[in-house]
Amino acid sequence: MIYSTELIKGTLKTIILKLLKDNKRMYGYEITQKVKELTADRIQLTEGALYPTLHALEADGILTTESEYIGKRVRKYYSLSPKGKTLSKEKISEFADFINTMKFLLDIKTDIA
């Protein structure tokens, strides 16, 4: 199943913050690949959405960056700032709560698996 684009809207920040919570530091391209892998291609982040979001999170002091050269190519690593660590937890628990609300509203049964 490939999700309609509207469905994934609004989840990008939460996904980024969760991955960085688990992985200490990641670069943009790595994030797209990790999400593809973890969701079996169901969610594919586009660069046009990802990079501006990463820049905005950095500008807000939620992420910090370190640039490194891999050969001749720059790779920009992102990490959670202290503020980002707090926000990460908040966003994940907010989404968890949202899932419960939507499950009730849409009368969706929990998957037994």
Name the residues that contact DNA, by CB under 7 A: 5-6, 8-13, 27-30, 33, 46-49, 51-56, 70-76
User: In this chain, which stretch among 7-15, 46-54, 55-63, 71-79 interacts with its own copies, using CB under 8 A?
Assistant: 7-15
Backbone phi, psi, residue 46, to 5°: -95, 150
Binding at 38: pick from its own copies, DNA, none (beta carbon under 5-8 Å per type): its own copies
What's the DSSP call for residue 95? H
Whether residue 22 contacts residue 89, with contact meaning beta carbons closer than 8 Å, is answered with no
Phi-psi region of 36 (alpha: psi -120 to 50; beta: other; left: phi over 0): alpha
Residue 51: partners with Cβ closer than 8 Å, 6 or more residues away: 28
| Residue 51 touches its own copies, criterion: CB under 8 A | no
**Cα 46 versus chain centre, distance:** 12
Nearer to DNA, 12 or 62 (CB): 12
| Residue 41 touches its own copies, criterion: CB under 8 A | no
| Residue 36 touches its own copies, criterion: CB under 8 A | no
Residues that bind its own copies (CB under 8 A): 1, 3-4, 6-11, 13-15, 18, 22, 35, 38-39, 42-43, 92, 94-108, 110-111
